[in-house]
Amino acid sequence: MQSVIEYYQNSNEESRLTTDNARKIEFIITTRTLDQYIKPSHNILELGAGTGIYSFYYAEKGNNVAATDITPKHIDIIHQKLLQRNDDQLNLEAKVANATNLHEFDSESFDVVLCLGPMYHLTNETDRVKCLQESLRVLKKGGLLDIAYINKHYILHSIMSKDKEYLSKQFVDKILRTGVIREGEKECFWTDAFFTSPEEMTLFLKKFDVRLIDHLASDGFSPYLKNFINDLKNEELNAWIYYIENSCREKSILGMSNHALLICEKSV
């Protein structure tokens, strides 16, 4: 994970979901969906919280939130935000933690675990299993586990159409077969990362004692159409978001979305 930590130490994750309207759609669809399940009384643990956009959102709604991330820079930014706000009513703490080993937290101590980032970078299946095992360990029975992932078919369309360097059978085979890229490899366009599909994630969840209660595309093809979306007027943008929200569970769209979201309930 060291290469992932170094990548984020030197990048601007703070702006990922806020810089433009195309990027904001993922946050809007995700929160509108999660708001249907998360109550103000719920204690929330966020794994891979980045600079805390979701953690602050739910803390401001009255939830007790523990934000964690493997990148020290991100936790420092969250602490800086907390100091700037100086709000005693905001129940948010942040610490550096690895999503595959949550020894800092007691078993069955959270109502909700948000795992909205780790899956992208756990290139080893053993680590993906550990991440969900630890998430479920700290989750109360009947609690919610929310998992985001990146679709491999969106990645193939997006990357190959933007950079012909990746327009090769070798790149296609690598993404379709393994879904994994690692720094130092010819086919790596990011940092160490893992891409999957709705079918593969649904099958993966069968390893765990959970019930899948929702599965949706959280941004569709919006990031690919960012120039179009960012030029929309407010009324037009609202219509676009309305479409995304009303089509996000359509299976033919789900597999082509950039990001997708699984909402699971820990079995009693």
Q: How far apart are CA 170 and CA 39, in angstroms?
A: 46
Total number of domains constituting the chain: 1
Q: Which residues span the domain enclosing 131?
A: 2-266
Q: List pLDDT tens digits, range 187-212.
A: 999 999 999 999 999 999 999 999 99
- Band (pLDDT 50/70/90 cuts) for residue 268 is confident
pLDDT at 12: 77
- Say how many Å lie between the first and final Cα of the chain, rounded: 33
Matching residue, tokens 């999660």: 34
* pLDDT one-digit tens code per residue, 219-247: 998 999 999 999 999 999 999 999 999 99
Domain of residue 69, CATH code:
3.40.50.150
**What's the whole-number average pLDDT of the chain?**
95
pLDDT reported for residue 25: 95
Query: For residue range 51-94, what is the model confidence (pLDDT) as tens digits?
Result: 999 999 999 999 999 999 999 999 999 999 999 998 888 999 99
CB-CB neighbours of 120 under 10 Å: 20
What DSSP string describes 13-58? GGGTTTSSHHHHHHHHHHHHHHTTT--TT-EEEEES-TT-HHHHHH
List the alpha helices (DSSP H) in 119-197: 125-138, 152-162, 169-177
**What pLDDT digit, counting tens, does each position of 114-163 carry?**
999 999 999 999 999 999 999 999 999 999 999 999 999 999 999 999 99
Q: Which amino acid does the sequence have at 140?
A: K
State the chain's maximal CA–CA distance in angstroms.
56
How much is the CA Rg of the chain, to the nearest whole Å?
18
Task: Band the pLDDT of 253: cuts 50, 70, 90.
Answer: confident
Amino acid at 109: S
The pTM for the full model equals 0.96
Return the residue matching tokens 């490899």.
185
